[in-house]
Amino acid sequence: MTQQPPEFPSALTREFSFGDMGNGLFGLDALCNLTTGMDEFLEDPHGRWRQYRSLGPAVLGCVPWFDDEQLLGRVDRFASSCILITKPDAKTQLKASFDQLKQRAASGPGFPSRVFFELDHMASRYVGEPEAVHPYSPQEHVDLQTFRSLGYRKVGKTPVPIIHAKMFLLGHLWWHDEGALGEVTDVIGFTPKRLWLGSANATKSSRKSLEYGIWLDDAQVLREACNFMIMLLKYSESLDSPDDVFEPEFLERPWDDDAFYEYMREFGSYPDEPEDG
């Protein structure tokens, strides 16, 4: 006789709502609360999360581990995405689920780094020493793949600190044709709209555990969550980073002060726009 795996009773699950749009769950399958909220955000039949001049819905997130296929399917539906996980150890890298994440990292839409000024003028250490920024530097931006890693890789039995925050920040990328000084330029940005916080690890097994998940839309909480994600992105690495230690991929490009001084001396702070635009 096959012994059934142990399970908690469904009576231990409680869903609730609060405020205008807040909702959450305590109990089993907190990831269902996450994926349902993602579906509502993407469909948005009442226009609650629309964005003027939108470039499509976007998601940023971080979890310790990720192998849930239903959640992966939801991430695939976003026009832009970047999810950070703990740097995978040797055992994790042998799993089929990790191969799926690597495939998404290579073929997924990723997330444009130039959305955040904190990530502007950064360069990948994987391609050598970064070149200095000068007045005629070409527009170059780092590549944020759909899945990336952060932190230390566990080697042997030595414990290491990990990403233990579980959060998904949903929003829209948008475009504008006017810069901060009124000049005609190509500008894109990100507006956070909804935040999911929970205890589930984005793994299939977490659906059978007693967890919690909650959706928030408080403006200050959204800003702080976005700032936290930007910091994590700045210190992240590729999913299959060769480094076992905490070694961020991105380096800040140095500024060629002499070149900018010469440019300012010749053209001034705000050079006239040429007649041909």
- Rounded to the nearest integer, the mean pLDDT of the chain is 89
**pLDDT at position 184, please?**
60
- What's the pTM value of the predicted model, to 2 decimals? 0.88
Write the pLDDT tens digit of every residue in 140-154.
Answer: 678 899 999 999 999
Residue 5 has pLDDT above 50, yes or no: yes
* Least confident window among 54-63, 182-191, 222-231: 182-191
- Average pLDDT value for residue range 214-218: 97
Q: Count Cβ atoms within 10 A of the Cβ of residue 242 and give its class: 0-12 exposed, 13-18 middle, 19 or more buried.
A: exposed
Write the pLDDT tens digit of every residue in 117-148.
Answer: 888 888 888 877 767 666 666 666 788 999 99
Share of the chain above pLDDT 90, in %: 69
Fold of 12-267: Endonuclease; Chain A (3.30.870)
> What CA–CA distance (Å, rounded) separates 85 from 265?
47
Write the pLDDT tens digit of every residue in 68-92.
Answer: 999 999 999 999 999 999 999 999 9
Residue 197 has pLDDT above 90, yes or no: yes
